[in-house]
Amino acid sequence: MDKLDIIGDIHGHADALEALLAALGYSKDGDGVYSHDERRALFLGDYIDRGPDQRRTLEIVRSMSKRGRAIALMGNHEFNAICYAARINGGFIRAHNPKNREQHAAFLREFPEGAADYCDAIDWFRSLPVRFETEGVAAVHACWCARSLRAIEPLLTEDGRLRPAAYDAYADTCGAQYAAIERILKGPEIALPDGLDYRDKDGHFRRAARIRWWTDNDAPARRRLEFGGARLGDDQLAMIDRMECREPFPMPAKPVFFGHYWMQGAPAPLAEKIACLDYSVAKGGRLAAYRWNGEARLNARNFVSVEAGPSAARK
């Protein structure tokens, strides 16, 4: 069975990525491509849009996947980049409004819109599978939602890439396939009642919260929802606890890995078969990996992580 080193959201932190690969026993071959004799890397997406070295991050991940040393999944940031570049009905699938432009600005500084290497990066993003599954393990960027994965199956190639028709389907924001792609790449969200809007870590005004879909349905809502680092008052927390935010996620039969959620502290499994590997390297946290050797139950000792690294201080 394939031995995998599953790596969370990098967001342009190439120094941390190189430190993590070294810690995992990967080394550069004569062409400068990282490889390991017995293992492959599985990247969970979100390579871009923050951090000091998006170009170098893409070079490392792309060269590894081209050589078969790694599998790179699509994150919501790569998906958004494709939609930002893709035209539909005289506009773009992802609007070029100030919020979207700002979220993408650091990438656009390194890859000016329309330049040859910008188009090349977007083409590579389009080639990324949205999910990975073998008999023993499954992985996705944000949410392993079996129903949503079934709903978009007709839009996927055999190896899990979104066909061109998927972007047309996504452009119909009332459609079921739009909702399914959103859940898989961005996770389920819940609309908040009046008076509960908040500003997230980027200062954007939000009226919806991410649901930590792997948590117990009966847990208080304040523990099930994520508010982008915003500090909420007691009155707001009391209102939140009155919300109904059930999500019918059965525990998976095999280990499921994902990134996307801004975890903090020491990396650890969230449940026997569930682990998030985004430990907020883009926010002064750590870049985390899980060394999976075929086990059905996750082991806290199999996490490896590194700090953001010296180049992060430049930003």
Is position 183 an interface residue for Mn ion (rule: CB under 5 A)?
A: no
What is the β-pairing status of strands 4-7 and 40-43? parallel
Mark 126-155 with x for binding to Mn ion (rule: CB under 5 A) and - for no binding.
Answer: ------------------------------
Nearer to Mn ion, 12 or 75 (CB): 75
Closer residue to Mn ion (CB): 54 or 76: 76
Q: Residue 76 or 236: which CB sits closer to Mn ion? A: 76
By CB atoms closer than 10 A (0-12, 13-18, 19+), residue 291 is middle
Q: Which is nearer to Mn ion, 142 or 312 (CB)?
A: 142
Contacts of 138 (CB under 8 A, 6+ apart): 131, 132, 144, 252, 254, 255, 256, 257
At its nearest, how many Å lie between Mn ion and the CB of residue 46?
4
CA angle 217, 135, 296 (to 5 degrees): 60
CB of 75 to Mn ion, least distance (A): 5
Q: Which stretch binds Mn ion (CB under 5 A): 15-23, 44-52, 199-207, 243-251?
A: 44-52
Q: How many residues bind Mn ion (CB under 5 A)?
A: 4
Taking contact as CB under 5 A, which single stretch among the options 84-92, 221-229, 253-261, 282-290 is the one that binds Mn ion? 253-261
Contact range with Mn ion by CB under 5 A, out of 10-18, 98-106, 157-165, 255-263: 255-263
Region of residue 275 (phi > 0: left; psi between -120 and 50: alpha; otherwise: beta): beta
Choice between 35 and 259, CB closer to Mn ion: 259
Considering the complex, what minimum distance in angstroms separates the CB of residue 142 from Mn ion? 6
Minimum distance between the CB of residue 261 and Mn ion, rounded to whole angstroms?
8
Find the residue with minimal CB distance to Mn ion. Answer: 260
46 makes contact with Mn ion (CB under 5 A):
yes
Return the range that interacts with Mn ion (CB under 5 A); candidates 52-60, 88-96, 188-196, 258-266: 258-266
Interaction between residue 49 and Mn ion (CB under 5 A): no
Stretch 65-124 residues interacting with Mn ion (CB under 5 A)? 75-76
Q: State which of residues 212, 260, 273, 286 lies at the interface with Mn ion (CB under 5 A).
A: 260
Closer by beta carbon to Mn ion, 105 or else 119 = 105
Contact residues toward Mn ion (CB under 5 A) are 46, 75-76, 260
